[in-house]
Amino acid sequence: MKQVFTGIAELYTPRQRLERAAFAVQDGRFVWVGAEGSLPEEYRGWPRTDLSGRSEGPSAPGGRRYLGVVPGIVDAHTHLVYGGDRLGEYLKRARGESYEAILAAGGGIYSTVRATALASEEELYELAAARAALFLAQGVTSLEVKSGYGLLPEAELKMLRVIRRLGETLPQRVFPTLLAHVVPKGWEREKYVAMFTAELIPEVARSGLAEAVDVFCDQGAFTLEETRRILEAALSHGLKIKLHAEQIAHTGATKLAAELGALSADHLEQSTPGDWQALAKSGTVGTILPGAAVILRKPFPDARAMWDAGVRVAIATDHNPGSSPLYSPWLGMQLTLSLGRLSAEEALIAHTEHAALALGRTDLGRIEVGAMADFVVVDSTYALEPLYRWGNTPIDSVYIEGEKAKDLGKV
């Protein structure tokens, strides 16, 4: 497929800002990006899609209203597959109960584990697909989806089969991750870690059900040494690794992530300047999860200091039913502007280019030659207007590999 896209008032690549821009797409990838008036001769005969709409307000000559364009949003940390909800827990926390106390009493993650076990694969798929459609409407073109609410081997494999089906049927790209979340009730810690490393990880690697392994290394979850064992087992089977790090307590997980070459260390509410230096030196992405920090009333990660220390900072929704029932990447970016002190341009980079690096991809989250042609058309001449409008996200359309998402017919 060959196509030239025009009618762009403002384009963020995301690192460059172009006015009156255009780009050419072939076989799902960008092959040229630049000023509309500088379109090379070789592309001028290609079919064109004019992204401009018509408006009764201020418009370009001829009644055209040029629109803003940004790269497809990448969400590199979600728990999209789960049964039930935790509204009751949410209300308890609003009345002052802590996340840690609820978890220790058998609620929290364990509550979702029980609801997920009761749901069939078909039910879990339908629920997750509906959530993914909401993310698509927000411009999310690629997303990571974790297991972790199964805990037991077959239940984890059930979740991963649902995630694989999502990847086969959704318009978005889906990156499956096996998550070591917590030790199941009734299991000895040593036996569970041994099972996870010697049985579950090899089976997942053999079957191709996940690309990466994540570990929740924190108070009430896995210790630093247990985390190391699980991640080293993952690496030995050719899987990528990432960590839930420094969310509730400071455990040293961030430095472990840097040492082992993890794709990312996520959360970082309790991280320190020493942790940031380790991330910057290793190239491991530091992913902040604004929804969880705000909802659980934890310290907001110092995104500004991390960025200035050389960390490749990413933003993700951490969508889950307990600590971050967040559906909007734009709200996550807005919170990071206000509380994490990034600029609007930096926040966009964090949820596109840097988020893609947290998935191990350099060809996503960018509008440049060779990248996948995923982009969001903003219903405004200003590409960053969605970051200005809190609670009202002006999205005109979403394209994946150069095709309008609603026309892909996969949902």
Q: Is residue 409 part of a domain?
A: no
Q: Are residues 38 and 126 both part of a single domain?
A: no
60 with 163, same domain: the answer is no
Residue 411 pLDDT class (50, 70, 90 cuts): very low
Domain annotation covers residue 30: yes
CB contact at 8 A, 284 and 263:
yes
Show binding-site residues for N-formimidoyl-L-glutamate: 149, 320, 322
Judge if 187 and 273 occupy the same domain.
Answer: yes
Let me know whether 145 and 37 are in one domain: no
| CA–CA distance, 172 with 365 (Å, rounded to integer) | 13
Same domain, 371 and 354: no
Query: CA–CA separation, 31 vs 282, rounded Å?
Result: 31
User: pLDDT value at position 93?
Assistant: 85
Residues in the annotated binding site for 4-imidazolone-5-propanoate? 86, 149, 181, 247, 323
153 in a structural domain: yes
Residue 36: which domain range?
2-70+365-404
pLDDT tens profile 84-94 = 998 988 898 88
Q: Which helix (H) or strand (E) holds 62?
A: none
Task: Spell out a b/e string for 172-201, using b for 16 or more CB atoms within 10 Å of the CB, else e.
Answer: bbbbbbbbbbbbeeeeeeeebbeebbeebb
How many domains does one find in the chain?
2
For 60-115, the pLDDT digits (tens) are: 445 568 999 999 999 999 999 999 998 988 898 888 888 788 877 777 888 899 99
Q: Quick one: which H or E segment has residue 274?
A: helix 273-282
The answer as to whether 274 is a domain residue is yes
In a domain, 11, yes or no: yes
Sign of the C-alpha dihedral computed for residues 334, 341, 316 and 366 taken in this order = positive
Please tell me whether residue 395 adopts helix, strand or coil conformation.
Answer: strand
Q: Backbone phi, then psi, for 72, in 5-degree steps?
A: -60, 135
Please indicate, yes or no, if residue 399 is contained in any of the structural domains: yes
- The domain that contains 224 carries what CATH number? 3.20.20.140
pTM for the whole structure: 0.94
Annotation: binding site for Zn(2+): 77, 79, 244, 318
Same domain, 180 and 63: no
- Provide the annotated binding site for Fe(3+): 77, 79, 244, 318
Co-location of 345 and 391 in the same domain: no
Q: Is 291 in the same domain as 383?
A: no
Shared domain for 174 and 207, answered yes or no, is yes
Does 331 reside within a domain? yes
Instruction: Write down the pLDDT at residue 129.
Output: 98
Domain finish residue from 359, 377, 395: 359
In this structure, are 124 and 49 located in the same domain?
no
Does one domain contain both 129 and 44? no
Task: Specify whether 47 is located in the same domain as 128.
Answer: no
Whole-number Å distance between alpha carbons of 259 and 337: 30
For residue 119, tell me if it sits in a domain.
yes
